[in-house]
Amino acid sequence: MLLEGRHFRRDWSSGYDIGRKAAAQNLSDIVAMGAEPTGIVVGLGLPADAATDWLDRLTDGFRDECELVGAGVAGGDITRCDIVVIGVTALGDLGGRAPVTRSGARPGDVVAVAGRLGYAAAGLALFREGLNGPPELLEAHRRPRPPYARGPEAAVLGATAMLDVSDGLLQDLGHVAEASGVGMMLDPELFMIHYVMRDAGRLLGVDPLEWVLTGGDDHALVATFPEDVRLPPGWSVVGMVTEGDGVQVRGVSLDRAGWDHFRE
């Protein structure tokens, strides 16, 4: 579910951007279980001031994001509402494989990520400050780019646990650690931080590693794999699964672990 004013603003994002974002957020959950997306169903609440051309662009966004993975918009429902509200149900096919869940990580596994981390959080910070920063970051807030192909690939490679990063890497890995009954140790030196992130960090006085570790909405994938699995390009090892519980970052202390929907 996406709510205007919480997940997007119409003065920051076009209807097309919002449609792409809403579809991407849900399709990424399908690939994060190792499945191939097949379609989405959309529930839509619209205020009276939503123009017809804006709605057309919104639905174009749904369609075009689904086409990236060979899926379609199967249907939905619409009603009047005070703000724009979008509820999406995504469907997928495992092709006979078992789903990759959060509960299979084991001590000795490696932790690996695919896709961008921190870009959307940096873009949101720039928008909030009214700054015209690197366009890659502003665009990342408007429209995530999940690494769709990496999810089914990870399942075939033998991933023991996986999920998409929607609420921040530390927060979401914490769910894996809890479900699997393990701990995790991340190495900050293993994260590749692009120069545009460093530029934005200097502009805003923020260590970009904080965005990487705690920023949500990029919908990267994070998975655990047996140590002897040879990972293909697109995956980067960033840590290890350990005995114990919780997620730690070697040599780093952070006040917040990520986004919590019910925390002030």
Residues belonging to the binding site are: 7, 29, 76-77, 102, 164, 166-167, 217, 259
Which residues contribute to the annotated binding site for ATP?
76-77, 102, 166
**Chain-centroid distance, C-alpha 32:** 10
C-alpha pair distances (Å), 116 with each of 24, 145, 207, 213, 226: 14, 8, 16, 11, 23
**252: its two tokens:** 């780093």
Strand segments, DSSP code E, in the chain are: 2-3, 36-46, 72-80, 85-93, 110-114, 161-165, 183-186, 220-225, 236-242, 246-249
CA distance 205 to 207: 7
For residue 104, the SS3 value is: coil
**71: its two tokens:** 């899926």
Which residues contribute to the annotated binding site for Mg(2+)?
29, 77, 164, 167
Which residues contribute to the annotated binding site for substrate?
7, 217, 259
